[in-house]
C-alpha cells in the first residue's frame, strides 16, 4: 500500500485489493512508528478512523457504490475542529480543549466518508513559517530531518510527504499551505478567499485565513477542494464559485519581475526560470509583467494580520475553555496570568504588535495606511489580470532552511515574501513541485484571478503531467 | 521604535503579563518589525480607498433565531471553572 494516491486507493477499495480498515490501519501503524521521527501529528484519532473505515467496508460488502473520498484516510491541521476531538491549535492554552462541533469542512468530509487519522502539528495558532513554534515540539522535514518542513501547516505537509496519509487539510493566512508544500515537495492549494467556509477554523486573521488541501498530486488536491468548497450559512464571507472547468486552450502567462530580484537564491531562480520556459513549449504565451507594489505586501501583511489576530485571540481568557488559571488579585491579573502562561513568544509578539498598531494615536498611521496599500495591491493585480490569464512565480525565495537557523522574527517573516500578496488580494494559488536544489524541493507558484480556482488547478495539472512524462 | 515603557503599556492592554526581561526583548523585536513596516510611508495612497475585505459581499444577514441548546452542557464542560449552568469568573467587585 506504499505511495498510493487518493485515485489509486479508491480503485483499490473498489477492486477489493484491500479493505478500508486495512488501509486505515496501514497509515495508523506508519504514523505510530514514525511520529517520533517527524512529529507531524499532535494526536491520532484511531478509534474514530477505524469506526469510519468500518462503515465504508460495510457499505462495500453490501455491494454499494462508494464516492471518490469514501474510506480515504486524511490528516487534519489541528486548528480545524473535529467534534469530540482535542483541538490544540498548537498552543498550551488549548492543550485540553475538546471541540464541541465539526468545522464546516469536517462536516462535509465526514458526510463523504473520509477517514480522519488525526490532527497535525502546526505553529501555535498558525503563526509561523517553520512549525518550530508549536507547544508540542518542532516538526521535521521528511526530505531532510535537520530542516524545517515550513509552516504553519508543517505537520500536514510533512504527513503527506512522509506518506502518513493520502491527503491533508491546512490553512493559509500568508502562505501557510503553499510554503510548507514547497519545502516538503508536495502540492498545496490555497483557494480564493470565500471559496471554503472558515466555520470551525480557529481564527488567526479573518480577512486572510483560508482552508485548503495539501496532497500528493493535483488531481487529489482538486478532489479535496471540490468536496470542501461552497457557500456556508455559518460563514457569511463564503460564496459559490461558478467558474466551470473547461479546455482553457492557449493562455497568456505573466511572470512578475519583482519576484526574481534581491533575496531569491540563485539556484531557485534558475530552476523556476527553466520551468517557466516549459509553459512556452506547451504552447502558452509567456511575458514579463510588473507588480511594483509587491515590495510593500509583507509590510501590509505584518500590520493587518497581527491587528486581526490580536482581536481574534482576545477570546482566550481562561474562562470559557483552556487551562485552569492561577487566580490573580483581580480579573485583569487573572487574564494576564492565564495568557502569559498559555501563549508562546510568537503569539505574544503578534498580539502586542496588533494591539499597538490598533491603539489610539497609531491606528491612522498604521492600520488605515495598510488598508489603503492593500487596496492598491489588489487593484494592481486586477489590472495585470486584464492582460494575462495567470501568473507564475517561485513559492519561496529559498529551499527548506535548517531547524534553528532563523532566530530573528523578521528574517523568518521574509520567507513568506512571495506568498502573502495572494492572501491580501484573496486570490487562488497553488504550489507545485518543480525541481530540486541538491535534494531539497523547490515549488512553483501558479496564481490566478479571483475565483478562477479551476483555472489554477487545471494549468497545475497539465504542468504536472508534463513533468511526469 | 518602541521602548520598554510602551511595551509594558501594550502588554497591559493585551492582557499579557511580562517580566522585565521580556519587556526588554519584545521592545527590541517589535521595534525592528515596526522599522520594517515604516516603509509603507513611501507609498502614495492619496487617491486609494482602503479595503478591509476582498469578496465585495455586503450586508450578509441570517435569521435572528437562537441556536439549539443541546450543546450547552458540552460547552460548559470545557470551562476550567463552572458552577451549575454558569461559567465561574474571579470576583470583579469587593
Please name the residue of chain A whose CA is at the shortest distance from the CA of residue B31.
A353
Subunit contact A331:B92, Cβ cutoff 8 A: yes
What is the full per-residue pLDDT of chain A (469 aa) written as tens digits? Answer: 888 999 999 999 999 999 999 999 999 999 999 999 999 999 999 999 999 999 999 999 999 999 999 999 999 999 999 999 999 999 999 999 999 999 999 999 999 999 999 999 999 999 999 999 999 999 999 999 999 999 999 999 999 999 999 999 999 999 999 999 999 999 999 999 999 999 999 999 999 999 999 999 999 999 999 999 999 999 999 999 988 878 889 999 999 999 999 889 999 999 999 999 999 999 999 999 999 999 999 999 999 999 999 999 999 999 998 877 666 778 889 999 999 999 999 999 999 999 999 998 888 889 999 999 999 999 999 999 999 999 999 999 999 999 999 988 888 998 899 999 999 999 999 999 999 999 999 999 999 999 999 999 999 999 999 998 7
Q: b/e per residue, A168-206, with b = 16+ CB within 10 A?
A: bbbbbbbbbbbbbbbbbbbbbbbbbbbbbbbbbbbbbbb
Residue at A90 is within a domain: yes
- Who contacts A50 (Cβ-Cβ below 8 Å, separation ≥6)? A21, A24, A25, A28
Residue at A429 is within a domain: no
Distances (CA, A) of A38 to A34, A139, A162, A183, A266: 7, 6, 9, 14, 29
Residue at A261 is within a domain: no
Residue B77: its chain A contacts at CB < 8 A?
98
Three cell numbers, residue B76? 460548559
User: How many domains does chain A fold into?
Assistant: 1
CATH number at residue A134: 3.90.1300.10
Check residue A450 and report its DSSP letter: T
Please name the residue of chain B whose CA is at the shortest distance from the CA of residue A194.
B55
Nearest CB among B15, B42, B81 relative to A335 is that of B15
Subunit contact A331:B89, Cβ cutoff 8 A: yes
Residue A27 dihedral angles phi and psi, to the nearest 5°: -75, -40
Q: How many CB atoms lie within 10 A of CB A23?
A: 25
Residue A307 to residue A404: CA distance in whole angstroms: 27
Three cell numbers, residue A322? 483552556
Residue A297 to residue A452: CA distance in whole angstroms: 22
CB A137 within 8 A of CB A90: no
Structural class in CATH, domain B4-42 = mainly alpha
Instruction: Identify how many contiguous H helices and E strands chain B contains and give both numbers.
Output: 3, 2
User: Hey, of A97, A235, A372, which one would you mutate to test binding to chain B, going by the most B CBs within 10 A of its CB?
Assistant: A372
Question: What are the pLDDT digits (tens) for A8-39?
Answer: 999 999 999 999 999 999 999 999 999 999 99
Residue A76 dihedral angles phi and psi, to the nearest 5°: -120, 130
User: Hey, of B22, B41, B46, B55, which one would you mutate to test binding to chain A, going by the most A CBs within 10 A of its CB?
Assistant: B55
Subunit contact A296:B55, Cβ cutoff 8 A: no
> What residues make up the domain containing A84?
6-228
Subunit contact A373:B48, Cβ cutoff 8 A: yes
Mean pLDDT of B26-53: 94
Residue A318 to residue A93: CA distance in whole angstroms: 8
The residue whose grid cell reads 470583579 is B92
Give me the active site residues of A, please. Answer: 77, 152, 176
First to last CA, chain B: 40
User: Hey, of A199, A236, A321, A352, which one would you mutate to test binding to chain B, going by the most B CBs within 10 A of its CB?
Assistant: A352
Q: How many CB atoms lie within 10 A of CB B84?
A: 6
Subunit contact B32:A409, Cβ cutoff 8 A: yes
Question: What are the pLDDT digits (tens) for B52-72?
Answer: 999 999 989 888 887 777 788
Residue at A400 is within a domain: no
The torsion defined by the Cα of A422, A427, A433 and A438, in degrees rounded to 10, comes to -10
Q: Residue B34: how many CA atoms within 13 Å on its side-chain side?
A: 21
Please name the residue of chain A whose CA is at the shortest distance from the CA of residue B94.
A330
Subunit contact B79:A319, Cβ cutoff 8 A: yes
Where exactly are the structural domains of chain B? 4-42
Bridge partners of A392, per DSSP, are A446
Nearest to A91 by CA among A308, A347, A332, A409: A347
Residue A375: its chain B contacts at CB < 8 A?
45, 48-51
Subunit contact B14:A351, Cβ cutoff 8 A: yes
Please name the residue of chain A whose CA is at the shortest distance from the CA of residue B36.
A299
CB A57 within 8 A of CB A20: yes
Please name the residue of chain A whose CA is at the shortest distance from the CA of residue B75.
A100
Nearest CB among A310, A368, A408 relative to B14 is that of A310
Bridge partners of A443, per DSSP, are A433
Subunit contact B37:A366, Cβ cutoff 8 A: yes
Amino acid at each position: 500500500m506504499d505511495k498510493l494516491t487518493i485515485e489509486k486507493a479508491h480503485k483499490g477499495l473498489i477492486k477489493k485489493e484491500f479493505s478500508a480498515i486495512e488501509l486505515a490501519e496501514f497509515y495508523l501503524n506508519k504514523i505510530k512508528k514514525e511520529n517520533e521521527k517527524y512529529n507531524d501529528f499532535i494526536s491520532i484519532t484511531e478509534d474514530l478512523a477505524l469506526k469510519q473505515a468500518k462503515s465504508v467496508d460495510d457499505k462495500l460488502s453490501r455491494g454499494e457504490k462508494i464516492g471518490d473520498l469514501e474510506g480515504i484516510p486524511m490528516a487534519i491541521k489541528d486548528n480545524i475542529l473535529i467534534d469530540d476531538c482535542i483541538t490544540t491549535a498548537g498552543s498550551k492554552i488549548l492543550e485540553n480543549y475538546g471541540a464541541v462541533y465539526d468545522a464546516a469542512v469536517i462536516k462535509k468530509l465526514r458526510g463523504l466518508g473520509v477517514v480522519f487519522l488525526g490532527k497535525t502539528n502546526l505553529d501555535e495558532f498558525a503563526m509561523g513559517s517553520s512549525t518550530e513554534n508549536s507547544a508540542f515540539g518542532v516538526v521535521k522535514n521528511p526530505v531532510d530531518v535537520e530542516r524545517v518542513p515550513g509552516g504553519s501547516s508543517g505537520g500536514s505537509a510533512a504527513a503527506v510527504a512522509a506518506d502518513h496519509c493520502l491527503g491533508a487539510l491546512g490553512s493559509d493566512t500568508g502562505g501557510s499551505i503553499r510554503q510548507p508544500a514547497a519545502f516538503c515537495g508536495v502540492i498545496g492549494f490555497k483557494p480564493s478567499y470565500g471559496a471554503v467556509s472558515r466555520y470551525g477554523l480557529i481564527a488567526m486573521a479573518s480577512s486572510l485565513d483560508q482552508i485548503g488541501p495539501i496532497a500528493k498530486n493535483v488531481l487529489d488536491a482538486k478532489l479535496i477542494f471540490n468536496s470542501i468548497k461552497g457557500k456556508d450559512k455559518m460563514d457569511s464571507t463564503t460564496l459559490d464559485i461558478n467558474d466551470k472547468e473547461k479546455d482553457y486552450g492557449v493562455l497568456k502567462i505573466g511572470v512578475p519581475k519583482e519576484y526574481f530580484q534581491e533575496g531569491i537564491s540563485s539556484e531557485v531562480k534558475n530552476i523556476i526560470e527553466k520551468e517557466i520556459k516549459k509553459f512556452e513549449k506547451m504552447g502558452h504565451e509567456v511575458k514579463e509583467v510588473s507588480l511594483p507594489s509587491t515590495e510593500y505586501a509583507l509590510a501590509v501583511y505584518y500590520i493587518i494580520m497581527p491587528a486581526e489576530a490580536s482581536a481574534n485571540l482576545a477570546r482566550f481568557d481562561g474562562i470559557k475553555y483552556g487551562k485552569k488559571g492561577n487566580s490573580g488579585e483581580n480579573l485583569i491579573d487573572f487574564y494576564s496570568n492565564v495568557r502569559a502562561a498559555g501563549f508562546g513568544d510568537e503569539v505574544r509578539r503578534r498580539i502586542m504588535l496588533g494591539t499597538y498598531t490598533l491603539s489610539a494615536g497609531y491606528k491612522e498611521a498604521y492600520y488605515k495606511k495598510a488598508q489603503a496599500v492593500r487596496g492598491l495591491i489588489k487593484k494592481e493585480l486586477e489590472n495585470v489580470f486584464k492582460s494575462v490569464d495567470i501568473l507564475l512565480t517561485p513559492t519561496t525565495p529559498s529551499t527548506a532552511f535548517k531547524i534553528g537557523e532563523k532566530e530573528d522574527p523578521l528574517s523568518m517573516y521574509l520567507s513568506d515574501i512571495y506568498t502573502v500578496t495572494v492572501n491580501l488580494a484573496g486570490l487562488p494559488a497553488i504550489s507545485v513541485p518543480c525541481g530540486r536544489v541538491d535534494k531539497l524541493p523547490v515549488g512553483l507558484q501558479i496564481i490566478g484571478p479571483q475565483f478562477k480556482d479551476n483555472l489554477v488547478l487545471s494549468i497545475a495539472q497539465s504542468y504536472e503531467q508534463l513533468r511526469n512524462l | 521604535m518602541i521602548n520598554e515603557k510602551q511595551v509594558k503599556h501594550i502588554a497591559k492592554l493585551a492582557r499579557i503579563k511580562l517580566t522585565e526581561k521580556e519587556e526588554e526583548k519584545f521592545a527590541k523585536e517589535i521595534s525592528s518589525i515596526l522599522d520594517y513596516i515604516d516603509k509603507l510611508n513611501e507609498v502614495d495612497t492619496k487617491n486609494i480607498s482602503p479595503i478591509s475585505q476582498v469578496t465585495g459581499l455586503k450586508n450578509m444577514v441570517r435569521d435572528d433565531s437562537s441556536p439549539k441548546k443541546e450543546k450547552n452542557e458540552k460547552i460548559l464542560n470545557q470551562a476550567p471553572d463552572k458552577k451549575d449552568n454558569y461559567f465561574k469568573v474571579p470576583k470583579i467587585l469587593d
